[in-house]
Structure 1
C-alpha cells in the first residue's frame, strides 16, 4: 500500500490543501465580519494562517493518509463560528447565513480560476516548443506524481511550481464541489436553506442531522465519486477547451 509513496507529491499536495482550506475558512469569517458578525474575527479566524484553521483529523491525519495510500481523501478545517443573531438586518437571518456559507465555495472557485490562469502563463514561459504547450499543461494538471513531470525536463523549480499549480486547481475545484452539496454540515445546506420556502424548512431541518452519516458512507464506499464525477467531467471539458484556445494547440 505504501510502496509507491512520493514525498514530493505529498508535500506539494499538502501545501496546496492547507492554503486552499485557509482561504476557504478566512472567506467565511470575512463575509460574516462584513455582515456585522465579529465572532470569528475575535477568535482569530479571519486570517490565512493555517494554524488558526487546522483540525487534527480533517487537516492532518485523513489528508496525509489519503495522499500516502492513494485513497481519495476529504480534507476539512475547523468550522468558522457564526452567530446569526449578530448578522446585519439588511437581510433576513437565514439569507445572511447563506451568504456566509457561500463565501467558502466561492473562494475556492475563484482560486481555481486564478491558479489556472497562472498555469497558462507559466507553461507559455517555460515550454520552448509551442505545440508542446497543451501536453505540458495537461500533464501538470493531471499528473498523479510530481516525478512524472520530470520527463518534461523543465528544471526542478518549474516542475515543482507547475505541480503545485495543478494541485491548487484540482483541490480548489474539489473543495468547491464537495462543499456545495446540500448536506449538513456542508456549506451547500446553509446556502439552500437560505432560499427555501418557509413551508419546506421543517422537513429540511429534520433530515439534516442524518446527512453527516450519509456523507461519510458515500465517501467511504466511493459513491461520492459517482455523484461528483459528472460535474468534474464537465469542468475538465471546459478547462480543456480554454487551454486549447489559450495555448493555441
Structure 2
C-alpha cells in the first residue's frame, strides 16, 4: 500500500491543502466580520495562519493518510464560530448565515481561477512547442507524482511552480465542490437553509443529524467519489477548455 509513496508529492499537496483550507476558513471569518459579527476575529480566526485553523484529524491525520495511500482524502479545518445574533439586520439572520457559509466555497473557486491563470502563464514560461502546451498543462494538473515533471527537464523552480499550481487548482475545486454538498455541517447546508421557505425549516433542521451521518457513511465507504466524481469531471472539462482558449491549443 505504501510502496509508491512520493514524499515530494505529499509535501506539495499538503502545502496546497493547508493554504486552501486557511483561505476558506479566513473567508468565513471575514464575511462574518463584514456582517458585524466579530466573534471569529476576536478568537484569531480571521487569519491565513494555518495553525489557527488546524484540526488534528481533518487537517493532519486523514489528509496525510490519504496522500500516502492514494485513497481519496477529505480535508477539513476547525469550524469558524459565528454568532447569528450579532449579524447585521440588513439581512435576515439565516440570510446572513447563508452569506457566511457561501464565503468559504466562493474563496476556493476564486483561488482555483487565480491559480489556473498562473498555471497557464507558467506553461507559457516553460515555452514548449505550441502543440505540446496542453500536454504540459495536463502533466502539471493531473500528474500523480511531482517526479514525473522532472523528466521534462524544466528546472527545479519551474517544475515546483507547475506542480504546486496544478495542485492548488485541483484542491480548491475539490474543496469548493465538496463543501457545497447540502449535508450536515458542510457549507452547502447553510446556504440551502438560507433559501428554503420558512415552513420547511423545522423538517430540514430535524434532518440535519441524519444528513451528517449520511456524509460520514459516504466518505468512509468511498461512495462520496461516485456522488461528486461525475460533477468534478465536468468541471475539469471546463478547466481544460479554458486552458485551450488561452494557450491557443
Scaled to the shorter chain, the TM-score interval is over 0.9
* Secondary structure of 1:82's aligned partner: coil
Give ranges in structure 1 of 5+ residues lacking alignment: none
Q: Under a length normalisation based on structure 1, what TM-score does the superposition of the two structures give? A: 0.98
Give 2:98's aligned residue: 98
Give 2:243's aligned residue: 243
* Secondary structure of 2:195's aligned partner: coil
- Establish whether residue 54 from structure 1 lines up as the match of residue 51 from structure 2: no
Query: CA RMSD, aligned part only?
Result: 0.8
Give 1:222's aligned residue: 222
CA contact (8 A) 2:184 2:213 kept: no
Distance 1:131 1:200 in 2: 54
Give 1:113's aligned residue: 113
Return the offset for 1:160.
Answer: 1.1
Q: Under a length normalisation based on structure 2, what TM-score does the superposition of the two structures give? A: 0.98
Give 1:233's aligned residue: 233
Give ranges in structure 2 of 5+ residues lacking alignment: none
What is the CA deviation profile of residues 68-97 of structure 1, one whole-angstrom value per residue up to 9, with x for unaligned ones? Answer: 011100000000000000000000100000
After superposing on structure 2, the runs of 4+ consecutive aligned residues of structure 1 that deviate more than 2 Å are none
Q: Does 17-26 or 150-159 show the bigger shift?
A: 150-159
CA contact (8 A) 1:127 1:154 kept: no
What is the CA deviation profile of residues 49-76 of structure 1, one whole-angstrom value per residue up to 9, with x for unaligned ones? Answer: 0000000000001111110011100000
Return the offset for 1:127.
Answer: 2.5
Give 2:21's aligned residue: 21
CA contact (8 A) 1:106 1:176 kept: yes
- Establish whether residue 126 from structure 1 lines up as the match of residue 126 from structure 2: yes
Distance 2:240 2:23 in 1: 26
* Secondary structure of 1:65's aligned partner: helix
Give 2:89's aligned residue: 89
